Amino acid sequence: MAGLEGEALRARNDALRGEVDSLLATFEQQQREFAAAQARLATATVTAWSTDKLIRVTANSAGVPIEVHVDPEAFKRTTPEKLGGSITEATQAAAKLAGEEAQRAFGSVEQLGTDIPDLSDLVPGAPSIKDLVRQLLPDPEAAPAAPAEPHPEDEDEYYRNRTYLEGGQ
């Protein structure tokens, strides 16, 4: 009977070793893909325009603006307040695009992780690595709403009365 128990123990040990080897191979593949995604994002940029086409914002992969272009016509076509709204809108749009780009870049790494158990599944009380990854990659749909589009008739009135020359009084 001791021989049968020993064989069963060896079989379970071999099965467990195979599982661990598979987990390690998946983990190493995740590390490679994660490093490749980080390298792509390190140089990635996104560009977004305001709906009135007066502002163009280029942002890095973190959503931080690295260039803001103001169309020269902006100073003739809009008010400072509305131009500020256009800047906000274009900046938010660029940040959303950056988040979407990060989601795409890390999507393959995240997909690999669905096939293996989480750390909290293996070690009771351990933090969930999957939850950590979700926190690092925010949902791009959670971006704030864009400001309302300017009304051209308001812009004309502003300039027609020349209140901008009187300091807005």
> Side chain identity at 65, as an amino acid letter?
P
The pLDDT of residue 119 = 65
The pLDDT of residue 5 = 86
Q: Which residue has the tokens 């791009």?
A: 140
Closest CA to 61 of 86, 44, 78: 44
Give the global pTM: 0.56
The pLDDT of residue 166 = 59
Query: Domains, the chain, ranges and CATH?
Result: 33-166 (3.30.1310.10)
The pLDDT of residue 163 = 57
Calpha distance 96→48 (Å, rounded): 9
The pLDDT of residue 105 = 82
The pLDDT of residue 36 = 84
Q: How is residue 127 written in tokens?
A: 């933090």
Calpha distance 155→120 (Å, rounded): 58
Calpha distance 32→26 (Å, rounded): 10
Q: How confident is the chain (169 residues) per 10-residue block, as mean pLDDT?
A: 81 81 78 83 93 96 95 91 96 95 78 65 72 63 53 55 55
